A and B are shown apart, each in its own frame.
Chain A
């Protein structure tokens, strides 16, 4: 396991070398997973290796509190996640632009990073990205509360407790909700300023599910981003990474190939 210390936090990082050097672009591809139940493994088995095969150096990491990274009691504001990513890239010696792939909350982090450090982002692929717009913190708080309730006293929690492979992650998520500043930090998130999003010039490819509960975020981005391409996948909800993996893989490779040809 590759462990990297950044901002005083021990992060689990996986780097995949490019498998196809002839078309290797200069910018690494960084994958950012979603909140709570997610970790880098969701990309590791789905999109990361195909992108490495297409010519990219790939970086995956578990965000603080997730997967095999260190769990601290504080530091779960979007700005913290953005600062964590910047510090990780510094430690890895990646000082040039990167391509970002963010899933769900990972998309929130990607957008925040692009606003904070536009010179470090070559392009973004946003999968079911949550955008911190007015009303988002309330939606997130309700979602986190429901997950906590389900895992604590609900049927889902009882089922997960009976299966080793789910019991550990259920315990970690419950602990994260009950004993860290996660909820307070998410609730305290300031909406991303519209003018900051309008100022972004990098190309953004977005993919949402037809039945997603955050599909309206796609329209918000459409109204603000100048170089924005949206694909809505039919018959799928928020969970397009596990449920529509093959379609998403094809879109990801198409996006990456287009970016690589721009960089060549």
Chain B
């Protein structure tokens, strides 16, 4: 799975969460911030975690990813950090699967 494919999937999830009306003026890319750009509510972030689990299953452990971060670090994350994490998880899962 390429980084572009993952970014497209994450972008679709985020548009569903924040609503297409608010997303209309946003170009969601790797540098987009969950906080200052998307203004994501903390409960919406929980919803994103659920959508990631539905999409990627056991290949991606979002909570484990968050576990190493304090709340302010989570809030300041960019979409790119999440995409990179998922890409690394996918590559690892592929390597294990052979």
Residues of A within 8 A of B (CB): 1-2, 14, 16, 39-42, 44-46, 49-50, 52-53, 62, 67-68, 163-166, 168-169, 242, 245-246
Q: Total interface residues on B, using CB and 8 Å?
A: 18
Which residues of chain B in 19-76 are interfacial with respect to chain A, using CB atoms and an 8 Å cutoff? 22, 35, 39-43, 45-47, 50, 63, 66-67, 70-71, 74
Would you call B91 an interface residue if the criterion is a C-beta within 8 Å of the partner chain's C-beta atoms? no
| CB of B93 within 8 Å of the partner chain | no
* A165–B41 touching, CB < 8 Å: yes
Contacts A45-B71, A245-B71 given; does A165 touch B66 at CB 8 Å? no
Could you say which of B39, B46, B47 contacts A163, with CB atoms under 8 Å apart?
A: B39
B8 at the interface (CB under 8 A from A): no
Cα-based distance from A169 to B42 in the complex (angstroms):
10
B18 at the interface (CB under 8 A from A): yes
User: B42–A41 contact, CB under 8 A?
Assistant: yes
Chain B residues near A (Cβ < 8 Å): 18, 22, 35, 39-43, 45-47, 50, 63, 66-67, 70-71, 74
CA distance A50 to B63 in the complex (A): 10
> DSSP class of B's interface residues: helix, strand, loop or mixed?
helix
A68 contacts across to B, CB distance below 8 A? 43, 46-47
Collect the chain A residues with CB atoms within 8 Å of residue B67's CB: 49-50, 53
Nearest CB in chain B: distance from A119 CB, A: 31
Report Cα–Cα, A53/B66, bound state, in Å: 13
Give the CA-CA distance A44 to B71 in the complex, in Å.
Answer: 10
Please report the C-alpha to C-alpha distance between residue A95 and residue B46 in the assembled complex, in whole angstroms: 27
Residues of A within 8 A of B46 (CB): 14, 40-41, 44, 68
- Complex CA gap A164/B71 in Å reads 19
Contact among A1, A52, A169, A242 for B41, CB-based, below 8 A: A169
Chain A: minimal CB distance from B45 (Å)? 7
In the assembly, what is the distance between CA of A13 and CA of B74, in Å? 21
B43 near A164 with CB under 8 A, answer no
In the complex, what residues of B have CB within 8 A of residue A14's CB? 46, 50
CB within 8 Å for A45 and B42 given contacts A68-B47, A242-B71: yes
Closest 10 CB pairs of A and B: A164-B39, A41-B42, A165-B39, A41-B43, A67-B43, A1-B50, A165-B41, A39-B43, A49-B67, A41-B46
Looking across the interface, which residue of chain A has its beta carbon closest to that of B71? A45
On whether the beta carbons of B70 and A164 are closer than 8 Å, the reply is no
Residues of B with C-beta under 8 A to A169: 41
- Least CB distance from B2 to A in Å reads 28
Cα distance A62–B42 in the bound complex, in angstroms:
13
5 contacts between A and B (CB under 8 A): A14-B46, A39-B42, A49-B67, A68-B46, A165-B39
Cβ contact within 8 Å between B47 and A1: yes
User: Does B43 contact A40, Cβ atoms closer than 8 Å?
Assistant: yes
**B47 contacts A168, CB within 8 Å?**
no
Contacts of B71 in A (CB 8 A): 45-46, 242, 245
13 further interface pairs, Cβ-Cβ under 8 Å (given A2-B50, A14-B46, A44-B42): A1-B50, A14-B50, A16-B63, A45-B45, A45-B71, A46-B71, A49-B63, A164-B39, A166-B41, A242-B71, A245-B70, A245-B71, A246-B70
